[in-house]
């Protein structure tokens, strides 16, 4: 709770205490029953604010492990690992859920060469984003082209390595002058 909120609760508590004392001295125990709705009105806002803040805090704690690293293509989660060179690697098993025609791990690792590896922790074969983009340039079906666009836009271009190298979109913007 913020200091301003704590001060507000303190003021409300003091005012309710004064109101309860006045009600007690004027009407006795019945005065407390009559003044109790005043306490409900005074503390409903801060209680609801604290409960909603607790929900936000729980959500923040729950999402902290994947914050800024969660990637999903049309609702299908894709595990992305970033190495110390700031290259991003996509787990081949997750890519295969989107593109079933992707080669098996052995064939993929031979075709990709240094662009395929098993990261520390052994989470399965991962393919570097730029290597996957290069493989998908040969694709002809619409789903592969859409996935390539997603990888380029959401995974590869935001990576630190592509920012350092000055990599940009490969296709010109619509309506742009090609000359």
Give per-residue pLDDT as tens, 87-130: 888 999 999 999 998 889 888 888 888 888 888 777 788 999 98
The confidence score (pLDDT) of residue 93 equals 92
Beta-ladder partners of 71: 78
The confidence score (pLDDT) of residue 146 equals 92
Low pLDDT (below 70) residues in the chain? 1-7, 66-68, 159-179
The confidence score (pLDDT) of residue 27 equals 93
- What is the spatial distance between Cα 91 and Cα 81, in angstroms, rounded to a whole number? 8
The confidence score (pLDDT) of residue 14 equals 93
Task: Report which of 105, 157, 110, 152 is spatially closest to residue 132, judged by C-alpha positions.
Answer: 152
Q: What is the DSSP letter of 179?
A: -
The confidence score (pLDDT) of residue 160 equals 60
- What is the spatial distance between Cα 126 and Cα 81, in angstroms, rounded to a whole number? 8
The confidence score (pLDDT) of residue 9 equals 84
Residues 6+ apart with CB under 8 A from 124: 91, 92, 93, 105, 118
Task: Report which of 86, 89, 88, 90 is spatially closest to residue 161, judged by C-alpha positions.
Answer: 86
The confidence score (pLDDT) of residue 169 equals 46
């Amino acid at each position: 709770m913020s200091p301003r909120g704590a001060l507000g609760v303190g003021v409300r508590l003091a005012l309710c205490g004064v109101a309860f004392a006045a009600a007690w001295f004027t009407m006795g125990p019945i005065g407390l029953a009559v003044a109790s709705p005043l306490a409900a009105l005074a503390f409903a806002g801060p209680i609801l604010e604290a409960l909603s803040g607790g929900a936000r805090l729980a959500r923040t704690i729950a999402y902290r492990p994947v914050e800024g690293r969660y990637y999903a293509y049309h609702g299908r989660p894709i595990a992305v690992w970033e190495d110390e060179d700031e290259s991003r690697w996509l787990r081949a098993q997750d890519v295969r859920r989107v593109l079933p025609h992707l080669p098996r791990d052995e064939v993929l690792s031979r075709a990709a060469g240094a662009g395929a590896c098993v990261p520390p922790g052994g989470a399965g074969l991962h393919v570097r984003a730029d290597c996957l983009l290069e493989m998908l340039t040969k694709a002809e079906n619409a789903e592969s082209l859409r996935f390539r666009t997603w990888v380029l836009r959401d995974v590869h271009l935001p990576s630190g390595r592509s920012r350092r190298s000055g990599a940009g979109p490969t296709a010109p913007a619509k309506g742009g002058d090609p000359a």
